[in-house]
Structure 1
Amino acid sequence: MIPQLQFRRCIIFLCCISLTILTIFCFSFSNEFSTNLVQPNVQKQMQHLNFKKLQAIADSKQVEDQQNEDPETSNIIQKSDVVSFFRNIVGENFDFFVKLKDTRMKNVSFSEAGAKELDEVDQLPNLIDPILKSSKLESIESNLIPDDAETSTTLPNLSYKDPTPTQNKPKLPYLGKVSEIYQPVFLYSPSKICESHDDNLQLIIIVTSAPGNFKARNAIRKTWGQLSSTEAVKIVFIVGSSIPKNEKKLNDENAKHADLIHGNFVDSYFNLTLKTISMLEWVINNCQNAKFILKADDDTFINVNKLLKLLKPRMSDTKTIYGRVGTGWTPFRDKMSKYYISFDEFGDSLFPDLTSGPAYMMTRDCAELIYNEALDQKYLKLEDVFITGIIASRLNIQRLHLKEFLNKKPSRIDECLLRKSVSVHYISPREQLWLWKIFIDGNKKC
């Protein structure tokens, strides 16, 4: 009786083991089958995400371009992190290119045939009220530079007398004086733009632009730059040297518009300080009758009317720089950072008070004072820190904070915010058109 009972128990035990093994095998096979079935569909759907969704994802990552653009800037996400983020989602067929010029994703493209560049189909995200659709918009867009205009690549080197790549370049970081590398020569410039306006010229706007940013410059000309047709305001663009293809297009652009200042330096992130010094030299020699000078990036929307209103009570000001003032900023000591500053470049623990770079304005007398002092000082690549911080501090130039200089892109832009602001940053050429439409067509009471 006992052996028979043991035999039954043994049979039951073996059956349980067999059932367990069979269950595990079926579960594994089911997972593998479902993965093989679902994954291609998911990948296919991800590879066909429209660009608007991709832009929304990119915007949600809040990739910042320049750490020293705004006192509230924080949590900068590195370019490689964002690239890895999208590659992990979509796979190897997806190429995500990030260009850090203000803090936005500039180009998103697929390797699939027939994919279009983001800037060709870029639509303003849900940041602006879609109430201002105008029939004039299509005609404005049709006048933009054709879509084959390319964006120049950043050339991380300093230029001496000749902008050609055959010239010897100093090893970065460069620790010599500005005067040793700056060449006071313009390949061409609009020398007569201020001549005929005498005392009526209140403001000269100089837009710092990369050579390949043809669409950005043309969008400004078709929007808020139109206000430069008055005697009170004039606008010009300043660029440096670039690749031959861009140089040919720049020549054609200048022949058409006659509003380009072409400085004698390689246009790159490391040469932004040289670009601003070149801007100041041009003002000194060609626009002495302007009462104020506004420096703005080409991805910034400027409310010229608001700016002129701010100027009226300040016509007698001297030795003043206006903008978004940053206080207590510390140098980046991380060698892997784009904004790394060594102790040899700047030894103090805090930068002087400064105005952030996307847009700031100065009284006319500041131009010559800053220019002469800057030439005799040690070069620093951070343009706003060097010009409006270090040099302005040495000259006891006042830095005046004006809240109207946003110098960033708010989470939402409506008509009232736009009309109360002087500068909004990280604006694409297409967004310039929408903001201009808000500006000229809006009738909302604020």
Structure 2
Amino acid sequence: MALLRRRLKLVVTVTMVNLFIFIIISRHSSQDKNEHQKVNIPSKPFWTKLAPSSAYWNRQQQFLDLQNNPVLFANYSNVELPDWLNDTSLTSDPCKPNFKVTTRVKDYNSLPDRFKDFLLYMQCRSYPITVDQPNICRESPFLLLAVKSLAPHFDRRQAIRQSWGRAGFIANRTVVTIFLLGNATAGDHHPDLSGMLQYESIRHKDIIQWDYRDSFFNLTVKEVLFLEWIQARCSGARFIFKGDDDVFVNTYRILDFLKGLSEPKARDLFVGDVITNAGPHRDKKVKYFIPESMYVGTYPPYAGGGGYLYSGDIAARLHNVSQHVALYPIDDVYTGMCLRKLGLAPEKHKGFRTFNIEEKYRSNPCAYKSLMLVHPRTPQEMIQIWAWLSSPDLNCQ
């Protein structure tokens, strides 16, 4: 009898538990059904009206972002497009000076001449090439060394040719070296060196020159033109080093580093001495001064322009995305902006020393063996360090 009661009690308990679970499931099912049937209406419009930035570069970038976003652009009709977005300040020829900018930048008249020059020609991205080397990448190089230089810097270029920029086969890899130049104009008080430059180009066949004013603010123009040149002349380059003509580069170390990369890592490679959490300098005495009328906000992470290393695949993507980023007067920051637009960020590598190494190590050959780049170095120092690293007697145990 007791056994029967226990069984009956167990059956009643299980039945009650099942009934309780059924009620809970039924309630959730009813709620889900009601929620699916209920239409949620947003309280605010999904696309908000864009407000113009007070800074000229930011405003130009807003215009490009809208222009290159068909979903956003379709949200405006020609009738309701605000004046600041319906930019009528651009001339039919973007390489003619845009004098309307003088009224678009509030403190234009008080800006230094380098800013005025940049703003007048900010829309121009195409300049004729005057010296080219169309066959220099006939055989696609493993590493392309692209060096930003100025016409008068003959000694730097020659030191690079005799040291870290020696083209040919290094460590069983094909290396090609080119020098990127604009025009050193009389307006910047440069002597006429065109004859000597022509001789240099004929002899070494490694000069690429465009017909534009080679100034600090136009280094971004050089960057854009170089990215275009790569796609036209050297699209098969596996990796690219781009840097200044006053740095020492340990080409051996770079080739060794590249050899050990996995395929995914190699494809998205962009390494250098990365600067983060930076913004524009507001001190007019600083070389990198940018007024608030031109740019507001922080900078994306960027690799210092002394030199950085990236893949040919990244070069192609940078070329494409650069068309959607307004030119900015500081070239390494501009490259960081383009990477941000791609959803990428440069990777910091301790082998890039764009702010030099401690003075006590500078005359030690072994201090350079594990580094990829050191800045700055004179032509004589470049040749000396290269001789150290090339010596079979160098022992850095």
* 1-structure distance, mates of 2:267, 2:304: 20
Question: Identity over aligned residues, as a percent?
Answer: 27
> Which of 137, 154, 159 is equivalent to 1:214?
154
Given that 1:175 and 1:379 are in contact with CA atoms closer than 8 Å, whether structure 2 keeps it comes out as: no
Structure 2 CA distance for aligned equivalents of residues 443 and 226 of structure 1: 20
- 1:364 is displaced (CA, Å) by 0.9
Aligned twin of 2:219: 272
Tell me the distance in 2 between the aligned counterparts of 1:188 and 1:425.
28
| Corresponding residue number in structure 2 for 1:339 | 288
Give the aligned partner of residue 59 of structure 1: none
Compute the TM-score of the two structures, normalised by the length of structure 1.
Answer: 0.58
1:345-364 aligned within 5 A: 345-348=294-297, 350-364=298-312
Contact 1:321–1:397, Cα closer than 8 Å, also in 2: no
State the shift of 1:258 in Å: 0.5
TM-score w.r.t. structure 2 length? 0.65
Q: Deviations over 1:129-183 (max 9, x none)?
A: xxxxxxxxxxxxxxxxxxxxxxxxxxxxxxx869xxxxxx9962644785x2222
- Pair 1:239-2:181 in alignment: yes
Q: Residues 396-407 of structure 1 correspond to what in structure 2 (within 5 A)?
A: 396-407=343-354
Contact 2:114–2:217 (8 Å) recurs in 1? no
The separation in 2 between residues aligned to 1:390 and 1:236, in whole angstroms, is 25
Matched length? 275
8 Å Cα contact 1:415/1:444 also seen in 2: no
Could you tell me which residue of structure 2 aligns to residue 445 of structure 1?
396
Cα 1:339–1:327 change in 2 (3 A) is same
Give the equivalent residue in structure 1 for 2:116: 172
Contact 1:321–1:362 under 8 Å retained in 2: yes
CA spacing shift, 1:315–1:345, aligned 2, 3 Å? farther
The residue that corresponds to 2:261 in the other structure is 314
Question: What is the deviation of 1:247?
Answer: 1.8
How far apart in 2 are the matches of 1:250 and 1:406?
A: 31
The reply on whether 1:395 has 2:339 as its aligned counterpart is no
8 A Cα contact 1:280 1:371, kept in partner:
yes
Cα drift, residue 227 of structure 1: 4.7
**Pick from 309, 327, 331: which aligns with 1:383?**
331
Please name the residue that 2:365 is paired with.
415
What corresponds to 1:68 in structure 2? Answer: none
Could you say if the C-alpha distance between residues 337 and 407 of structure 1 is closer, same or farther in structure 2, counting changes exceeding 3 Å? closer
1:187 aligns with 2:130: yes
**1: CA distance between counterparts of 2:226 and 2:317?**
13
Q: Distance in 2 between matches of 1:405 and 1:228?
A: 24
For 2:114 and 2:325, the matched residues in 1 are separated by 16
Find the counterpart in structure 2 of residue 427 from structure 1: 377
Secondary structure of the corresponding residue to residue 172 of structure 1: helix
SS at match of 1:288: coil
Give the structure 1 partner of residue 51 of structure 2: none
1:315: Cα distance to partner? 5.5
Contact 1:216 1:428 in 2 (8 A): yes
Deviations 1:310-361 (A, max 9, x none): 112326232331111111112101233221112233210x211111111101
Deviations 1:356-394 (A, max 9, x none): 11110111122232223223332211110111x111111
For 1:75-122, what per-residue CA distance to the aligned partner results, in whole angstroms no more than 9, with x for missing partners? Answer: xxxxxxxxxxxxxxxxxxxxxxxxxxxxxxxxxxxxxxxxxxxxxxxx
- Structure 1 residue aligned with 2:166: 226
1:159-211 CA distance string (max 9 Å, x none) = x869xxxxxx9962644785x2222431111111111x24xx21101010011
- 1:261 counterpart letter in structure 2: I
- Distance in structure 2 (CA, Å) of the matches to 1:367 and 1:220: 23
> What aligned pairs does 1:91-240 form with structure 2 within 5 A after superposition?
172=116, 174-175=118-119, 180-195=123-138, 197-198=139-140, 201-230=141-170, 232-240=174-182
**8 A contact 1:291–1:315 mirrored in 2:** no
Q: Which has the larger radius of gyration?
A: 2
Deviation at 1:408, TM superposition (A): 2.9
1:328 aligns with 2:270: no
Residue pair 2:271, 2:309 contacting (<8 A) in 1 also: yes
Q: Which shifted more, 184-193 or 354-363?
A: 184-193
| Separation of aligned partners in 1, 2:287 and 2:166 | 35
Q: Which amino acid aligns with 2:379?
A: P
Contact 1:241 1:264 in 2 (8 A): yes
Is the contact between residue 166 and residue 177 of structure 2 (CA under 8 Å) also seen in structure 1?
no
Q: Distance in 2 between matches of 1:171 and 1:338?
A: 12
- Supply the AA of the counterpart residue of 1:194: C
In structure 2, the CA distance between the partners of 1:171 and 1:359, relative to structure 1 (3 Å rule), is closer
Given that 1:175 and 1:378 are in contact with CA atoms closer than 8 Å, whether structure 2 keeps it comes out as no
In structure 1, the gaps of 5 or more residues are 1-159, 163-168
Q: Which whole-Å CA distance do the structure 2 matches of 1:214 and 1:208 have between them?
A: 12
